[in-house]
């Protein structure tokens, strides 16, 4: 056979200290099979990483927060220690515990940092997470009217939000004044509770004001099960730096 002759010739030419990967056709074939397998495994792995990249891109987590983890949340006092411990516990128990979370406190106290740490932890474990500010939520909903955004209808968008494993509403403030805005949030949370999906909320308001703004209906749903309500009652980390 041609190949066999070629290998024999090759053996004569190559120096002694070089040991060929294969000396006969069977080994050569075996090598090709093995390489093929390795390559397909590599492609599968790459696709998996791409998928995760994609979920990160779609997660609504801004660049500043992509690197946030439980480990790089600096503990300066008991308050920090408590919130990071409970946020980590929340992320670890996510699968067995479909409860929501609410982080309240002044700007710069690390609410987004820990919400991003929870999100990053879950995304790396294949969960779909989406973080959106209330004003972005409302402008997206409004873009579904007037045909500005033809592909997306209000119903489709709300359905989409209901399927995400963890949805986080950021910057819940006094801007939620209209009945319409409350109704939208209510609808989304109701849809999500029905499909046993938890929701996270971040706000600079206190417990009393957020209840007044969102209404008992929404707050009751946010308190179901082992929900996690944390008060970040310390000064801004940003201002100190």
Ligand X SMILES: Nc1ncnc2c1ncn2[C@@H]1O[C@H](COP(=O)(O)OP(=O)(O)O)[C@@H](O)[C@H]1O
Cα angle value 108/87/76 (rounded, 5°)? 50
With CB under 5 to 8 Å by kind, the binding choice for 169 among ligand X, Mg ion, none is none
With CB under 5 to 8 Å by kind, the binding choice for 144 among ligand X, Mg ion, none is none
Separation CA 154–CA 148 (nearest Å): 12
Looking at the Cβ atoms of 56 and 237, the one nearer to Mg ion is: 237
User: Which helix (H) or strand (E) covers residue 87, if one does?
Assistant: helix 78-92
x-marked contacts with ligand X along 209-238 as a string, rule CB under 6 A: -----------------------x----xx
* Chain position whose Cβ is nearest to Mg ion: 112
Site for ligand X contains 68 (CB under 6 A): yes
With CB under 5 to 8 Å by kind, the binding choice for 161 among ligand X, Mg ion, none is none
With CB under 5 to 8 Å by kind, the binding choice for 70 among Mg ion, ligand X, none is none
**CB neighbours (10 Å) of residue 95?**
10
Site for ligand X contains 70 (CB under 6 A): no
Q: Which listed residue (55, 59, 100, 112) binds Mg ion by CB under 5 A?
A: 112
- DSSP bridge pairs for 133: 170
Site for ligand X contains 110 (CB under 6 A): yes
Separation CA 11–CA 15 (nearest Å): 8
- How many residues sit close enough to ligand X to count as binding (CB under 6 A)? 16
Separation CA 39–CA 53 (nearest Å): 21
CB of 150 closer than 8 Å to CB of 184: no
Separation CA 55–CA 119 (nearest Å): 11
State the residues that interact with ligand X by CB under 6 A: 64, 68, 73-74, 80, 105, 107-113, 232, 237-238
State the residues that interact with Mg ion by CB under 5 A: 112
């Amino acid at each position: 056979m041609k190949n066999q002759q070629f290998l024999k010739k090759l053996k004569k030419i190559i120096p002694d200290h070089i040991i060929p990967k294969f000396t006969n056709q069977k080994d050569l074939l075996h090598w090709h099979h093995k390489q093929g397998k390795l390559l397909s495994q590599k492609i599968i792995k790459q696709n998996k990483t791409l998928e995760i990249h994609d979920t990160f891109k779609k997660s609504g987590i801004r660049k500043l927060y992509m690197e946030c983890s439980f480990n790089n949340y600096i503990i300066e006092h008991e308050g920090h220690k408590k919130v990071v411990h409970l946020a980590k516990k929340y992320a670890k128990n996510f699968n067995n515990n479909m409860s929501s979370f609410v982080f309240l406190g002044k700007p710069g106290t690390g609410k987004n940092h820990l919400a991003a740490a929870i999100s990053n932890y879950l995304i790396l474990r294949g969960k779909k997470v989406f973080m959106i500010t209330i004003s972005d939520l409302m402008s997206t909903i409004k873009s579904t009217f007037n045909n500005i955004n033809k592909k997306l209808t209000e119903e489709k968008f709300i359905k989409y939000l209901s399927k995400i494993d963890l949805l986080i509403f950021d910057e819940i403030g006094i801007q939620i004044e209209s009945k319409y805005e409350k109704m939208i949030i209510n609808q989304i949370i109701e849809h999500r509770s029905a499909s046993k999906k938890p929701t996270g909320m971040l706000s600079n308001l206190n417990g009393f004001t957020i209840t007044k703004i969102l209404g008992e209906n929404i707050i009751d749903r946010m308190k179901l099960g082992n929900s996690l309500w944390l008060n970040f009652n310390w000064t801004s980390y940003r201002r100190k730096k």
